[in-house]
Amino acid sequence: MEFKAIVDVKARDAADCAVVGVYEQGDLGVAARQIDAQTGGLIGKLHANGDFAGKVADVLLLPAPAGTAAARLLLVGLGPRAGFGRKQYRKALQAAAQAVGKTGAASATVYLALEDLADLDIGYRARVVAEVFCVNAYKVPDLKTAPKPKASKLHRVSVATDTARAARAATDGLTAGEAIGSGIALARDLGNLPPNVCTPTYLGNRALQLAKEWPSIKAKAIGEAGIRALKMGAFLAVTQGSEQPPRLIVCEYRGAKRSVAPICLVGKGITFDSGGISLKDPPAMDEMKFDMCGAATVLGALRAVAELKLPINLVVVIASCENMPSGTAVKPADIVTTMSGQTVEILNTDAEGRLVLCDAITYARRFKPAAVIDVATLTGACIIALGHHFSGLMSNDDALAAELAAAGVRADDRAWTLPIGDEYVEQLKSNFADIANVGGREGGACTAASFLWKFAKDLNWAHLDIAGTAWLSGSQKGSTGRPVPLLVDFLINRAGAK
What positions carry a catalytic annotation? 280, 354
Question: Binder to ligand BES among 19, 236, 381, 452 (CB under 6 A)?
Answer: 381
Which one of Mn ion, Zn ion, ligand BES, none is in contact with 444 (Cβ closer than 5 to 8 A by kind)?
ligand BES
Output 291 or 359, the one with its CB closest to Zn ion: 291
The stretch near Zn ion (CB under 5 A) out of 75-83, 133-141, 232-240, 347-355 is 347-355
Question: Is 353 a binder of Zn ion (CB under 5 A)?
Answer: yes
| Nearest distance in Å: CB 263, ligand BES | 25
The stretch near Mn ion (CB under 5 A) out of 35-43, 247-255, 261-269, 273-281 is 273-281
Question: Is 246 a binder of Zn ion (CB under 5 A)?
Answer: no
Output 273 or 345, the one with its CB closest to Zn ion: 273
Cβ atoms of residues 47 and 22 within 8 Å: yes
Question: Binder to Zn ion among 16, 178, 189, 291 (CB under 5 A)?
Answer: 291
Instruction: Pick out residues in 259-278 that bind ligand BES (CB under 6 A).
Output: 273
The stretch near Mn ion (CB under 5 A) out of 7-15, 56-64, 67-75, 271-279 is 271-279
Tell me the site size for ligand BES, rule CB under 6 A: 15
The stretch near ligand BES (CB under 6 A) out of 63-71, 156-164, 223-231, 343-351 is 343-351
Question: Binder to Mn ion among 178, 273, 322, 359 (CB under 5 A)?
Answer: 273
Output 137 or 452, the one with its CB closest to Zn ion: 452
Output 107 or 450, the one with its CB closest to Mn ion: 450
Question: Is 465 a binder of Mn ion (CB under 5 A)?
Answer: no
CA-to-CA distance for 437 and 352, rounded, in angstroms?
Answer: 8
Sheet holding 107-110, edge to edge: 4-8, 156-160, 107-110, 17-22, 72-77, 59-63
Question: Is 273 a binder of Zn ion (CB under 5 A)?
Answer: yes
Cβ atoms of residues 371 and 461 within 8 Å: yes
Output 289 or 303, the one with its CB closest to ligand BES: 289
Question: Binder to Mn ion among 8, 350, 359, 413 (CB under 5 A)?
Answer: 350
Question: Binder to ligand BES among 377, 450, 479, 480 (CB under 6 A)?
Answer: 377
How many CA atoms, within 13 angstroms, populate the side-chain half-sphere of residue 401?
Answer: 14
Binding mask 346-375 for ligand BES (x = CB under 6 A): --x-xxxx----------------------
Output 204 or 444, the one with its CB closest to Mn ion: 444
Which residue is nearest to Zn ion, using beta carbons? 273
The stretch near Mn ion (CB under 5 A) out of 298-306, 342-350, 372-380, 440-448 is 342-350
Which one of ligand BES, Mn ion, Zn ion, none is in contact with 348 (Cβ closer than 5 to 8 A by kind)?
ligand BES
The residues that touch ligand BES, with contacts defined as CB under 6 A, are: 273, 291, 348, 350-353, 377-381, 438, 444, 467
Q: Catalog residues that contact Zn ion under the rule CB under 5 A.
A: 270, 273, 291, 353
